[in-house]
């Protein structure tokens, strides 16, 4: 085992005690270790049963943690990659700038290959590379210090953006509303209060008494394992539903707004997010429910004109046929298609809410401001 694991055995009483804590930010999704020699991640594949932190200090383990969704959610992946390349840069034994940069670039391209759809991963790594290239006159220890500062800045900016996104969305919501969300765009996916769940947490602090419906989000169950977990842990009224129940709860009049996160926003307002999001948007349009996409401006890809240009990650068939089941639930050798994301066309989106404000259609105008 290349990384150190700190397992926490969780018995029922400890689990209940943990779930009665109200402050979700007690959980540190991704951070640097005290000595800044490793990236410490809350292993999200072990939630909700176990809170296990991994301490990773080489590029292979960081790549693996991102690929296997031990850390996931677009902004959290960006922060993990930024911390990761800083930690790896400390270990580069280069004599001069050219040798340092050659190795830095190799690690950067490697980490960038772990997941293709979320723009935040490449955007964070590009920021880190810019620091190196803009400071080539510095010696290696100074460069490493600057990389540390940049990785911390990426995390801090993310945390600050979340709160503003929450405030901007909360202004559109009313106390007592039923909200439906898909996948997990909360604290576990980002820093602090998350993106799509930020208005829920702020509303909770201010007595809004929202009722949240969390889609379970097949096949990796981020809604069941993570969204239901973090909202319940924070005392929010959350009801878990299977993905195919969204229409039913909307038809009953229980949902007044849909709030989702995003992995890449194209300049025309098309949005890539967790597979199934576009279906929820179609349902919301049918039932006349506003469909809000929440994310930091770092998720808007200025190089991406529309959803057709977004690369959609395809993942292993076993995630559909057997993962999470006690035994296999599909015939051997059946063909399986497992796209991790889909694109919601801009026509179905009521507004895209960032830390800067609320962008309404036409998005080609509002997103370029």
Stretch that binds ligand MRU, among 30-38, 102-110, 186-194, 238-246 (CB under 6 A): 186-194
Q: Confirm or deny that 16 is annotated as ligand binding.
A: no
61, 158, 215, 263: the catalytic one is 263
Stretch that binds ligand MRU, among 25-33, 69-77, 163-171, 356-364 (CB under 6 A): 69-77
Nearer to ligand MRU, 108 or 315 (CB): 315
User: Does 338 show up as a binding residue in the annotation?
Assistant: no
At its nearest, how many Å lie between ligand MRU and the CB of residue 195?
4
Considering the complex, what minimum distance in angstroms separates the CB of residue 142 from ligand MRU? Answer: 33
**Of 23, 10, 149, 37, the residue nearest 91 (C-alpha):** 37
For residue 36, give the DSSP letter.
Answer: S
**Spatial separation of the C-alpha atoms in residues 310 and 296, rounded to whole Å:** 18
Asked whether residue 274 is marked as a ligand-binding residue, the answer is yes
Strand partners of residue 42: 53
Q: Does 78 bind ligand MRU (CB under 6 A)?
A: no
DSSP output for 134-195: HTTTS-HHHHHHHHHHHHHHHHHHHHHHHHHHHHHHHTT--TT-EEEE-S--SGGGSSTT-S
Binding mask 97-136 for ligand MRU (x = CB under 6 A): ---------------------x------------------
Q: Give the one residue of 3, 46, 70, 73 binding ligand MRU; rule: CB under 6 A.
A: 73
Q: Is residue 263 flagged as an active site residue? A: yes
Nearer residue to ligand MRU within complex by CB, 38 or 217: 217
How far apart CA 350 and CA 289 sit, in angstroms, is 9
State the minimum distance, in angstroms, from the CB of residue 167 to ligand MRU. Answer: 16
| Region binding ligand MRU by CB under 6 A among candidate stretches 85-93, 188-196, 204-212, 352-360 | 188-196
Long-range pairs for 216-221 at CB < 8 Å and ≥24 separation?
A: 216/240, 216/241, 216/242, 216/243, 217/182, 217/183, 217/184, 217/243, 217/274, 217/276, 218/242, 218/243, 218/276, 218/320, 219/319, 219/320, 219/323, 219/324, 219/338, 220/69, 220/319, 220/323, 221/324
Binders of ligand MRU in range 269-328 (CB under 6 A): 273-274
By beta-carbon proximity to ligand MRU, the closer residue of 80 and 147 is 80
3-class SS of residue 64: helix
The torsion region of residue 207 among left (phi > 0), alpha (psi -120 to 50) and beta comes to left
Task: Confirm or deny that 72 is annotated as ligand binding.
Answer: yes
Count of residues interacting with ligand MRU (CB under 6 A): 19
- Of 261, 269, 276, 307, the one binding ligand MRU (CB under 6 A) is 261
Give the pairing of strands 237-241 and 211-215: parallel
Q: Check if the beta carbon of residue 132 is closer than 8 Å to that of residue 147.
A: yes
Instruction: Tell whether residue 105 is among the known ligand binding residues.
Output: no
**Residues near ligand MRU, by CB under 6 A:** 69, 72-75, 118, 183, 185, 189-190, 194-195, 222, 261-263, 273-274, 340
List, by residue number, the catalytic residues: 263
Q: Per the annotation, where are the binding residues for substrate?
A: 72-74, 115, 222, 273-274
């Amino acid at each position: 085992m290349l990384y150190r694991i700190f397992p926490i055995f969780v018995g029922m009483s400890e689990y209940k005690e943990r779930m009665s804590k109200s402050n979700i930010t007690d959980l540190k999704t991704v951070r640097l270790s005290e000595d800044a020699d490793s990236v410490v991640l809350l292993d999200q594949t072990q939630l909700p049963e176990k809170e296990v932190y991994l301490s990773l200090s080489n590029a292979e383990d960081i790549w693996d943690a991102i690929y296997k969704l031990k850390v996931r959610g677009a902004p959290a992946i960006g922060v993990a990659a930024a911390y990761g390349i800083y930690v790896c840069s400390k270990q580069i034994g280069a004599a001069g700038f050219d040798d340092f940069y050659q190795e830095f670039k190799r690690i950067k391209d490697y980490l960038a290959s772990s997941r293709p759809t979320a723009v935040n991963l490449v955007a964070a790594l590009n920021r880190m590379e810019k620091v190196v290239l803009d400071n080539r006159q510095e010696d290696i220890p100074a460069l490493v210090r600057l990389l540390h500062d940049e990785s911390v800045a990426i995390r801090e900016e993310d945390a600050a953006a979340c709160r503003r996104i929450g405030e901007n969305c909360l202004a559109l919501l009313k106390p007592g509303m039923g909200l439906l969300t898909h996948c997990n765009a909360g604290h576990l996916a980002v820093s602090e209060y998350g993106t799509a769940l930020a208005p829920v947490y702020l509303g909770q602090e201010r007595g809004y008494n929202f009722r949240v419906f969390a889609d379970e989000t097949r096949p990796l169950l981020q809604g069941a394992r993570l969204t239901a977990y973090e909202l319940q842990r924070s005392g929010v009224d959350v009801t878990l539903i299977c993905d195919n129940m969204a229409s039913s709860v909307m038809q009953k009049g229980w949902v007044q707004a849909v709030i989702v996160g995003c992995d890449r926003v194209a300049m025309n307002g098309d949005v890539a997010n967790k597979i199934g999001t576009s279906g929820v948007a179609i349902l919301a349009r049918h039932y006349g429910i506003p469909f809000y996409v929440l994310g930091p401006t770092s998720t808007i890809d200025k190089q991406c004109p529309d959803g057709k240009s977004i690369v959609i990650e395809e993942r292993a068939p076993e995630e559909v046929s057997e993962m999470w089941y006690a035994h296999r639930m599909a015939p051997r050798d059946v063909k399986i298609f497992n796209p991790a994301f889909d694109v919601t066309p801009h026509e179905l989106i009521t507004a895209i809410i960032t830390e800067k404000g609320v962008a309404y259609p036409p998005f080609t105008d509002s997103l370029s401001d």
